[in-house]
């Protein structure tokens, strides 16, 4: 299943807010857009929807900015994707020409079950789970062995 760009940007905004990688800066849509590599307009639309869902708080003014609400910190990724994507079917069978297989087709049901399995997997994670930074152990490489050139 491929997510829309809107959902992708909403997830990125949530993860950036959760990770708190802003070094004390006031978090704005402009700052998230710069970090996510997206237009400010697209981020603003996604953030607006996240505010409507009660996952992000937006404060106006000199000390304003964006922050996650308690609901935003604990929301499952699956629930978030469901809200941002809507309950669309993976395929639609109502095109211009009627499908001759519609009466006996099991594809829509199989794809609906696959979509629910996809969401069920995402339900196991919160945005905070995915945004947590992990401590990586850096193993230094041994210096290269320099061998003297051989005379010919």
The pLDDT tens digits of the residues spanning 43-87 come to 999 999 999 999 999 988 887 889 899 999 899 999 999 999 987
Residue 6 has pLDDT above 90, yes or no: yes
Nearest to 10 by CA among 96, 127, 152, 105: 127
Work out the pLDDT band at 35, boundaries 50, 70, 90. confident
56: domain range? 5-90+98-132
pLDDT digits (tens, 9 = 90+) for 134-149: 433 334 444 445 556 5
Does residue 74 belong to any structural domain of this protein?
Answer: yes
Within a domain: residue 139?
Answer: no
Residue 102 to residue 98: CA distance in whole angstroms:
8
119, 78 Cβ separation under 8 angstroms: yes
Within a domain: 61: yes
Alpha-carbon gap, residue 66 to 60, rounded angstroms: 9
pLDDT at 25 over 70: no
Mean pLDDT of the chain: 81
User: What number is the average pLDDT over the span 12-30?
Assistant: 80
CATH code for the domain in which residue 39 is found: 1.10.10.10
Burial of 31 (0-12, 13-18, 19+ CB in 10 A): middle
Is the model more confident about 49 or about 15?
49
With a pLDDT cut of 70, the percent of the chain lying above it is: 76
149 located within any domain: no
Q: Which of 16, 63, 62 is nearest to 35 (CA)?
A: 16
Q: For residue 85, list its beta bridge partners.
A: none
Q: What's the confidence (pLDDT) of residue 57? A: 93
Confidence of residue 14 (pLDDT cuts 50, 70, 90): very high
Asked, for residue 39, whether it belongs to a domain, the answer is yes
Is there a domain that residue 145 lies in?
no
Task: Establish if 138 belongs to a structural domain.
Answer: no
* pTM of the model as a whole: 0.74
Q: Is residue 31 part of a domain?
A: yes
Query: Rounded CA gap, 30 and 130, in Å?
Result: 22
Please, which residues have CB within 8 angstroms of residue 119's CB and are 6 or more apart in sequence? 78, 81, 82
What value does the CA radius of gyration of the chain take, rounded to a whole number of Å? 23
Beta carbons of 50 and 13 less than 8 angstroms apart: yes
Instruction: Round to whole Å and give the CA distance between 116 and 122.
Output: 10
pLDDT band at 123 (very low <50, low <70, confident <90, very high): very high
Question: Could you give the number of structural domains in the chain?
Answer: 1
């Amino acid at each position: 299943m491929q997510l829309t760009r809107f959902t992708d940007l909403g997830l990125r905004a949530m993860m950036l807010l959760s990770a708190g990688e802003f070094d004390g800066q006031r978090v704005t849509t402009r700052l998230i857009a710069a970090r996510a590599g997206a237009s400010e307009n697209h981020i603003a639309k996604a953030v607006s929807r996240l505010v409507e869902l009660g996952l992000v708080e937006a404060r106006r003014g000199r000390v304003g900015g964006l922050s996650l609400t308690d609901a935003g910190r604990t929301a499952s990724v699956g629930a978030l994707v469901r809200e941002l994507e809507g309950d669309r079917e993976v395929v639609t069978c109502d095109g211009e020409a009627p499908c001759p297989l519609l009466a006996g087709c099991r594809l829509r049901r199989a794809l609906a079950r696959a979509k629910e399995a996809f969401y069920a997997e995402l339900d196991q994670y919160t945005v905070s789970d995915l945004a947590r930074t992990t401590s990586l152990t850096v193993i230094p490489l041994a210096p290269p062995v320099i061998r003297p050139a051989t005379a010919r």
